[in-house]
Structure 1
Amino acid sequence: IYAIGLQEMGSADWEGAFLNILGAFDYVKVKCRRLLGICTLLFVKRSNLPYVCSIESELTKTGFKGCWGNK
């Protein structure tokens, strides 16, 4: 399992890069969450995918009146 956290970047470019690199080793993306300049990605080896279930994630906006992301 690879859990990757990134900040201050364009997530689509990096997500694609990680998919290309890890995909060559038979990893698949299980989850991606974004909030402003922060991105978290979760990859699992395809052979372990049947054992992965109930993936959950939570975002908490702590910026201006709880309506905007904040780092």
Structure 2
Amino acid sequence: MMQPNFYSNSDAAMRKCREAIAPSLHPAAPIVEMQLMRSQNYLNLVRSQQTSFRRFLLTPGSSVTRRLS
């Protein structure tokens, strides 16, 4: 009975792994991420999420408000 060769596709597997992580390893990736985080759309999204969360916390019927009072 022949043993299966688990390493026969190792090159293909390594290539897939490299392709999957390559975008995050690209030298420009941190710069693009910083530009995205500083963009007006991103900042507006963050502000709206913070406002929504504050409204939730201050809603009279919320469990957080009940715990605080």
TM-score interval (norm. to shorter): under 0.3
Bigger share in helix: 2
Tell me the TM-score normalized by structure 1. Answer: 0.25
Greater C-alpha radius of gyration: 2
Taking CA–CA contacts closer than 8 Å with sequence separation of 6 or more, which of the two structures ends up with the larger relative contact order?
A: 1
